[in-house]
Amino acid sequence: MNDGGSCLVKMVDLGKSYHQTRTIALRGVNASIAHGEFVSVWGASGSGKTTLLNLLAGLIEPTEGAICFEDRPLSAIRNKSRFRLNNIGYIFQDFYLYPRFTVMENILLPFAHRWVVGRAKKERALQLLDSMNMGGKAHRQIMGLSTGERQRVCIARALLNEPLLVLADEPTGNLDSVTSRHILEILKEMNESKKTTIIVATHDQQVDSYATRSLRIADGSIVAA
């Protein structure tokens, strides 16, 4: 589905403030991300990186400005859940895996609301595991995996729906440097082979060497691109 070069996401004067805590998480963000880009959003803790990802995923609504996804305003999409299921893959720093479920079951979770998960999805899950050198661990319990393996399961889960956009929030935050490199290599491989657009929020400068572009964010504003 990726056509390379054309605009996938456009942010126009994007802002988000939280009235309860009277904090401005983001303000005046203007940026475009094209199909097939690998963008790192770099900034210190509390700079607004996660808020930006949550806005792009449609998990929260902006208080100012707008986001267009493939030229369609995100605010016009009524069923945000289905939008995420079909277009977005989200990788969390803390994995959020179901501990009592197997690797395969965790990967299939986004589609477990369906009475039957099709064979194609299962085959895709196995392919993803193979590509991450975890082919033999599909039926292993999550509890028995290393942190690096757990993060790979998260990546496989995020990529199962062949999303146009993968959002990764501090994917290397809980990993040692060797495992971090491995995870970033997997993301880079997905980006290059499938032209999957990837946005990684991080304060790990190592990510920059894998990204095609970096956005620097400080105090809720983009300071360098």
Partner 1 sequence: MGFLQFVIKDLLRQKVRLLLAVSGIAVALSTCVIMLGVSEGVRETFRRSYKQNNVDIVAFEKEEYNIFSSLVDAGLVEKLKGLEEVEDAAGALFELYYCGKSFVPLLGWPPGSIFFRDIVLIEGKPPQSSRDQVMIGDSLARVTRLKIHDTLRIKGRAFEITGIFKGLSSLERSAMIIPLDTFQQLDAGKKGKVVGINILLKKPFRNEQGTAMMIEKIEKKFPQLTAQDVDVFIAEKWSYILLGDKLSTVIVLVTVIAVIFGLSNIMLTSFFERRKLIGLLIAMGWQRSDVLRSLVCQSLLISFAGGLLGIPLGFVGIEHLFGMMEISLFMPVWNTALLAKIIGIIMTSGIVAALIPSIIILNLNPVEVIKSE
Write out the residues near partner 1 by the rule CB under 8 A.
54, 57, 59-60, 79, 81-82, 84-86, 88, 90, 92, 96, 98, 100-101, 104-105, 108-110, 112-117, 157, 161
CA distances (Å), origin 34, targets 8, 57, 213: 5, 16, 11
DSSP 107: H
Long-range CB contacts (< 8 A, 24+ apart) of 175-180?
175/147, 175/148, 175/151, 177/206, 179/146, 179/147, 179/148, 179/151, 180/204, 180/206
Q: Is the CB of 62 or the CB of 110 nearer to partner 1? A: 110
Q: Is the CB of 48 or the CB of 110 nearer to partner 1? A: 110
Spatial strand order in the sheet of 38-42: 88-91, 165-169, 197-202, 38-42, 213-218, 221-224
Three-class secondary structure of residue 92 per DSSP: coil
Q: Is the CB of 136 or the CB of 139 nearer to partner 1? A: 139
CB 116, min distance to partner 1, A: 5
CB 63, min distance to partner 1, A: 14
Q: Is the CB of 88 or the CB of 190 nearer to partner 1? A: 88
- What span, in angstroms and rounded, lies between the C-alpha atoms of 74 and 51? 15
Which neighbouring-strand residues pair with 214? 40
CB 75, min distance to partner 1, A: 17
Q: Is the CB of 160 or the CB of 211 nearer to partner 1? A: 160
Q: Following CA atoms 63, 20, 57, 49 in sequence, which dihedral angle do they give, to the nearest 10 degrees?
A: 100
CB 87, min distance to partner 1, A: 9
